[in-house]
């Protein structure tokens, strides 16, 4: 049974106790419920905790991976069995302290046994914390992931401007003559913001850079140049200079030859990357929260405990 849409507040205690407490309480509750049936308790009260302990063990074993019961989405844990055994021992000891007297010599009828077993089994299947989460590839795995970083060095050393030799105008041809890099149009992978300034059309290829077109003929814009800016999602043009964000930096590019490229670091705040994770997924390892190390670079994705990698955007590490 999968977890409901809400989360209960975490208990303040060791993680092993927090995880196994539901199994302990389940056995206690079902034993008390069985003993509460009027005039129907068995002659030997110790059989009640033994029976519910056995049922708990069977349901726990059904959560083993090789059993292959997909709808029972729990995780096998020896501590759950120990918690159930402890609860059964508590009930048995309590009964022994009450002189182990028989409440009734009449055994439980089948009409009483079946509802009790049904209630106990269904409640047991919902008494664990589902530690698996849904991922973009439709798989389910542990909710604990590790961050994937793109190094600042890789982000801040990609300061290239590429020009089209086929469609060069006066400014871009002058830049080419001064040693500018040449690369013809290769398409736009993730189109973002579109900006028009004078005869130029700027199209953001999200997180990769800015494509510049000659928009003199609006029906047939001609590709002029590509400014590579890792992390670009927005741009503005002011006084002949194009300003583009690069994650936490701001890049300025002059729109006249030789198209000089300037970068100002750490102008923008580091984003709250935890908000980009899928529901309930968290940066954790060995039950410890992983703090984002901003000095390592920008978090661009995450890796599951099984080794699968997912990226927030189409980026190249």
pLDDT tens column, 17-54: 656 677 777 777 777 777 776 554 445 677 778 887 88
- Mean pLDDT calculated for residue range 75-91: 78
Task: For domain 157-264, say whether CATH 1.10.3470 is its number.
Answer: no
Tokens 């964000």 belong to which residue?
A: 245
Q: If we measure between CA atoms, which residue out of 212, 207, 211 comes closest to residue 317?
A: 207
Q: How far apart are the C-alpha atoms of 71 and 1, rounded to whole Å? A: 6
Average pLDDT of the residues in 89-94 = 76
Query: Which string of DSSP letters, residue by residue, matches 266-289?
Result: S-SPPP-GGGGSPTT-EEEETTEE
Instruction: Tell me the percentage of the chain whose pLDDT exceeds 90.
Output: 47
Q: Which residue has the tokens 């999200």?
A: 206
Beta carbons within 10 angstroms of residue 143's beta carbon: 20
pLDDT at res. 112: 56
User: Which H or E element spans position 228?
Assistant: strand 222-228
Collapse the DSSP code of 6 into the 3-class scheme (helix H, G, I; strand E, B; otherwise coil) and give the result. Answer: coil
Query: pLDDT, tens digit, for every residue of 263-293?
Result: 999 999 998 899 889 999 999 988 889 999 9
CA distance 78 to 20: 9
pLDDT, average across residues 231-237: 94
Residue 33 DSSP SS3: helix
Q: Per residue in 158-195, pLDDT tens?
A: 889 999 999 999 999 999 999 999 999 999 988 999 99
Residue 33, judged by CB atoms within 10 A of its CB (0-12, 13-18, 19+), counts as middle
Name the band, by pLDDT with cuts 50, 70 and 90, for residue 236.
Answer: very high
Confidence of residue 317 (pLDDT cuts 50, 70, 90): low
**pLDDT category of residue 6 using cuts at 50, 70 and 90:** very low
Please state, rounded to an integer, the average pLDDT across all residues of the chain: 80
Question: In the chain, which segments carry CATH 2.40.128?
Answer: 157-264
Structure tokens at 276: 């980009």
**Each residue's pLDDT tens digit, 100-123:** 444 444 555 665 556 656 665 555
Note whether 76 and 60 are within 8 A (CB). Answer: yes
């Amino acid at each position: 049974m999968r977890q409901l849409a809400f989360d209960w507040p975490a208990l303040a205690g060791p993680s092993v106790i927090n995880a196994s407490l539901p199994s302990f309480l389940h056995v206690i509750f079902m034993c008390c419920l069985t003993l509460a049936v009027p005039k129907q308790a068995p002659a030997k009260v110790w059989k009640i905790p033994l029976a519910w302990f056995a049922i708990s063990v069977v349901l726990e074993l059904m959560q083993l991976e090789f059993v292959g019961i997909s709808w029972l989405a729990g995780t096998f844990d020896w501590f759950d069995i120990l918690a159930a055994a402890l609860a059964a021992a508590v009930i048995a000891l309590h009964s022994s302290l009450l002189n182990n007297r028989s409440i009734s010599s009449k055994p439980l009828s089948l009409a009483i046994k079946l509802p009790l077993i049904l209630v106990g089994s269904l409640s047991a299947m919902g008494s664990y914390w589902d530690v698996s989460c849904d991922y973009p590839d439709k798989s389910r795995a542990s909710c604990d992931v590790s961050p994937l970083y793109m190094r600042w060095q890789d982000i801040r050393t990609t300061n290239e401007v590429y020009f089209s030799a086929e469609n060069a105008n006066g400014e871009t041809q002058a830049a080419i003559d001064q040693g500018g890099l040449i690369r013809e149009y290769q398409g736009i992978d993730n189109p973002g913001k579109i900006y028009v300034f004078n005869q130029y059309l700027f199209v953001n290829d999200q997180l990769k850079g800015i494509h510049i077109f000659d928009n003199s003929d609006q029906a047939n814009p001609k590709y002029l140049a590509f400014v590579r800016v890792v992390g670009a999602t927005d741009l503005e043009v002011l006084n002949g200079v194009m300003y583009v964000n690069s994650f936490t930096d701001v890049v300025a590019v002059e729109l006249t030859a030789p198209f000089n490229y300037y970068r100002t670091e750490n102008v923008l705040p580091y984003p709250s990357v935890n908000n980009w994770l899928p529901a309930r997924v968290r940066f954790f390892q060995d039950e410890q929260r992983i703090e984002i190390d901003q000095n390592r670079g920008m978090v661009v994705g995450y890796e599951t405990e099984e080794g699968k990698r997912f990226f927030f955007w189409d980026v190249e590490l």
